[in-house]
């Protein structure tokens, strides 16, 4: 990629509006496409599970589903898939009714392919099940004994191997990369490497058009999933903690003590800023024009205006940014309190 000019951010004054959510002991949260319905992984006394807040249940209804590691809404927001990674069980809940529609075992990484079809990974297969009927799951593709991740629409899957776990993608070395079309079941091998070659920390773009990773001896690199073409990004860049914007047009990644952004539309890399121990995480807002950085405090950076805005001071330990679909002003932010979190609704000034 060619290198563009560095960003230079100007700090803005002002205070955001913070409203505490009434749920204690939270671990994570997910907002539905309508921007108001949400699920928060928070216990109810000794009961494990989470709260579903919607128009039908404005004060929240508790779902006693055990520990929740992943929560995914369908595109129309009428269905919610809840994954328990420890028990390998995925439960699909009707959002208006707050009742279970489907329960599937041996399941990981659920994602909706359309509104009523759930696709998920097992140990060695890609499966699908209709959530609106008592239909049994059917096989999409077999012999996929690796870790998997799907595009945002569920249509394209990245499978990497070898791996003993169906979804863990970090802190291990992979040799093979496969693309799976979840609509047809077609499997295409794009990388088949031999040691000492390999790659680490792979992730698929939200659009499903590329997979980016740490290539041994090559740095941060991507593979076009349509044809297997390699796309070098930064020889000294790190795929660890790299993150796409929600459209897959940009990739945020660290280079030593600085943060850079790669823009696939212009094929340009730009330096954002140098950071220290106060920043450990970074995420894009919807639309890709703003990012948030956080750990000790939280700051929003506007990439177009090149301005920054403090959301939480450095004395607050921040964990968990939850975007609201379509919004660059409203979002959820977690505050670490011991082993759990307290979540806030945050609204930025105009």
Q: Span 57-64, mean pLDDT?
A: 95
pLDDT in tens, 109-123: 999 999 999 999 999
pLDDT of res. 46:
84
Q: With bands split at pLDDT 50, 70 and 90, how would you rate the model's confidence at 185?
A: very high
Would you state the pLDDT for residue 121? 97
pLDDT at residue 40, as a whole number: 97
Q: For residue 290, give Cα distances in angstroms to 51, 230, 284, 344.
A: 29, 28, 6, 19
Q: Which residues contact 315 (CB under 8 A, 6 or more apart)?
A: 296, 297
Compute how many other C-beta atoms are within 10 angstroms of the C-beta atom of residue 164: 11
pLDDT (0 to 100) of residue 19: 96
Residue-level pLDDT at 330: 97
- Which helix (H) or strand (E) segment holds residue 229: the answer is none
Residues in CB range of 32: below 8 A, 6 or more apart: 38, 39, 54, 73, 77, 80, 95, 325
Arithmetic mean of pLDDT, 225-234? 96
pLDDT for the residue 130: 96
CA angle 195, 147, 80 (to 5 degrees): 165
pLDDT tens digits for range 298-334: 999 999 999 999 999 999 999 999 999 999 999 999 9
Q: Is the pLDDT of residue 211 over 90?
A: yes
Q: What is the pLDDT of residue 25?
A: 85
Q: Pick the closest to residue 175 from 192, 163, 155 (CA basis).
A: 192
Distance, CA of 36 to CA of 31 (rounded, Å):
7
Contact 158, 170 (CB under 8 A): no
pLDDT, average across residues 132-146: 94
Gap between the Cα atoms of 65 and 82, Å rounded: 8
Q: How confident is the model at residue 258 (pLDDT cuts 50, 70, 90)?
A: very high
Per the document, the length of the chain is 350
Q: Are 33 and 75 in contact (CB under 8 A)?
A: yes
Q: What is the pLDDT of residues 162-183, one digit of tens each?
A: 998 899 898 899 999 999 999 9
Taking the C-alpha atoms of 71, 74, 79 and 81 in order, what is their torsion angle to the nearest 10 degrees? -30
Residue 133 banded pLDDT, cuts 50, 70, 90:
confident
Average pLDDT of the chain, as a whole number: 95
pLDDT of 340: 84
Segment 213-235 mean pLDDT: 96
In the prediction, which pLDDT does 86 show?
A: 87
Average pLDDT over residues 46-63: 94
90, 96, 99, 105: CA torsion to nearest 10: -10
pLDDT score at 47: 86
How confident is the model at residue 120, as a pLDDT? 98
Geometric angle at alpha carbon 222, from 217 and 225, rounded to 5°: 135
DSSP bridge pairs for 117: 130
pTM more than 0.85: yes
- Provide the β-strand partners of residue 309: 12, 300
Average pLDDT on 131-144 reads: 93
pLDDT number for residue 16: 95
User: What's the mean pLDDT in 145-155?
Assistant: 97
Share above pLDDT 90 across residues of the chain, in percent, rounded to a whole number:
91
The C-alpha atoms of residue 218 and residue 24 are separated, in whole angstroms, by: 45
Is pLDDT of 24 > 90?
Answer: no
């Amino acid at each position: 990629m060619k290198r563009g000019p560095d960003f230079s951010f100007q700090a803005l004054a002002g205070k955001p509006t913070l409203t505490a959510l009434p749920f204690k002991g939270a671990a994570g949260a997910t907002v539905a496409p309508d921007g108001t319905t949400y699920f928060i992984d928070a216990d109810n006394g000794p009961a494990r599970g989470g709260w579903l807040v919607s128009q039908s249940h404005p004060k929240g209804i508790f779902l006693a589903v055990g520990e929740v590691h992943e929560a995914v809404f369908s595109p129309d927001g009428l269905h919610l898939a809840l994954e328990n990674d420890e028990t390998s069980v995925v439960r699909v809940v009707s959002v208006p009714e707050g009742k279970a529609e489907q329960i599937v075992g041996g399941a990981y990484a659920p994602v909706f392919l359309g509104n009523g079809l759930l696709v998920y990974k097992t140990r060695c297969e890609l499966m699908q099940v209709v959530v609106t009927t008592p239909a049994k799951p059917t096989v999409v593709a077999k012999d996929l004994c690796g870790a998997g991740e799907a595009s945002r629409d569920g249509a394209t899957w990245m499978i990497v191997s070898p791996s003993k776990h169906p979804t863990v993608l970090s802190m291990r070395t992979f040799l093979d990369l496969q693309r799976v079309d979840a609509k047809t079941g077609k499997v295409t091998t794009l990388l088949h490497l031999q040691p000492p070659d390999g790659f680490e920390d792979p992730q698929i773009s939200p659009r499903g058009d590329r997979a980016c990773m740490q290539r041994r001896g090559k740095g941060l690199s991507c593979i076009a999933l349509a044809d297997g073409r390699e796309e070098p990004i930064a020889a000294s860049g790190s795929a660890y903690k790299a993150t796409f914007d929600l459209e897959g047009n940009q990739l945020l990644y660290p280079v030593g003590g600085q943060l850079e952004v790669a823009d696939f539309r212009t094929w340009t890399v730009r330096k954002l800023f140098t950071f220290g121990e106060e920043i450990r995480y970074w995420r894009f807002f919807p639309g890709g024009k703003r990012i948030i950085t956080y750990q000790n405090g939280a700051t929003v950076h506007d990439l177009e205006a090149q301005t920054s805005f403090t959301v939480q001071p450095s004395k607050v330990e921040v964990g968990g940014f939850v975007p609201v679909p379509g919004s660059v002003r409203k979002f959820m932010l977690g505050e670490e309190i011991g082993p759990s979190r307290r979540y806030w609704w945050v609204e930025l000034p105009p």
